[in-house]
Structure 1
Amino acid sequence: MLKLQAPPIKVGIVAFGLTKLPDLSSDNQLPQGVLFMYTQDPQYVELLSQVEKKPFVDDHRLELANFLDGVSCLRGQLIREQCSEHPNEELIKELLRDRDNCHMWAAQDLGVNPNIIPPGSKFEFHKGFAWWPVHTSFHSFSAAIAAGRYDHIDPHLTASSLCIEDAPVTIDAKLVLYAPSRRIFSEAAIWEMRRRLNLHVEQDQSWELCAFGEKYPDVQGISSCVALGSICVDPRGRRSVPYLDYWDARRKLYLGDWGAGWCPDYRFLAARDQFLGVREFPI
């Protein structure tokens, strides 16, 4: 068992992404959902801002990791290991095994109260954060699919079947991989992501899925990733959604049944920030 450094005891409570000090003058217990006081430090705020502005520059992440090490925050270790060319996978697993810490870090990244994150759920972390940056351009939807270099592509997956405009697009987004970690139906998963986690799940989400598949092909091998916002309706009226799958050493872009329900190991794609002014799919 790896020994992890304990965090400090100074805390603050988060309220929709803003940090404030809790009222400890009463006999009430410390409120659930705490953030360490380092989040109010101007140096931390500036370092985090640099990571947000230049998400593909690891140097900014490592500078933030050094700061977090100085305040005994375990997230510094996670950032450093996930940025390393030779990461300690056992240490990463140990850090991510602490669900309370992971929910706290994800809440900071998403600007939500950690209390609203469903118990048992989890987020996939990329270089220490619960979001995955993508920045790419496609001149058509077929080009977006081709960019992923998949071994198998569902032939019914087209811009027309998904009711999206087949025109050039630039995607600049921070994507989130959310895993409810329980069997769940599409409507419930969308409700959790939109209403509880304040994430964006849009009708044109298939663009984001293609961008993610192109940028992070290895992640597809961990477990399937579903774009619930992009609904395809076949001539018989059956609804399905695109998802990335990996089976028999082959990367696949499939269509899955919207109404069949999803197994606990499925992850759902969402955007932390809305990058295109498109209509939402009503549920």
Structure 2
Amino acid sequence: MNISNTITIIMIFASVATAIGFFIVYKKQSGAGVNISIGNFDLNPNSTEKVRNIEKEEVERSKLQEYLEIEDIENSIIKLKKNNALRIILSISSPDFALLNEDEKNVFENALLDLGLSLNFPIQFFTTATKVDTKVSAEKALAVTRDNDEAIDERLKQYANLLYDRLIDLENSRNVYVRKSYCIIGIDGVFDKKRSISELRNRVETVVGALNAAKMRVNVLEKEKIAQLFANVLNKGSNISIEHMLENDVLSTYSVGK
């Protein structure tokens, strides 16, 4: 799947009324140090710089990639149009700090402290709120209710049916969200492609190693997951699944012409 198809998938469901200008930029702000921003909002709470209001701009679908300022996404690396900037996005899942014992809390805190002291490049942490997705679990519960295997107790089928109804209710609820955390790591201004990618990966290894030491689960987002993140931000409150769309060959009905 190339970047054009990825962007197309997002735009099929993106409302014109939403903030279409979701992009990843790297900039230096006066008095705020070096900062990595996402979207048409600034994640730096200390920044006083006015942020461009993309929502009020008229954007043609063919120009979405221009507003995203993304040139390509390859091997989990986002290449921006300006300054030879590269980005990698990590998904992060951390343990419940309140449930850790004192030794575990000390390990957690020390690992993050070591990361902060070792950094000589900017990183950005941010979270998103996504509607809970129970489709897969609901389908499994429904399959139990329809199974003809006599070994399955009828009470189990009744329970599976109740479970299915509950999962569907959760899926349709507007008040049930899951918070997901991410970290953006980037590099700018290095025009030797090999050296730029090598340095970016070294930075990623530094951050991932420290987060793993803090008992966090860390994954590098691949192209489809990056597209899913964009879709979630552009379509807050929806349950768009890029993976399901690809599995159902949604692009078979799409064509590009001049």
Higher Rg: 2
Higher relative contact order (CA 8 A, sep 6+): 2
For the criterion TM > 0.5, the same-fold answer is no
Q: State the TM-score, normalized to the length of structure 1.
A: 0.23
Higher helix share: 2
TM-score, structure 2 length as denominator? Answer: 0.25
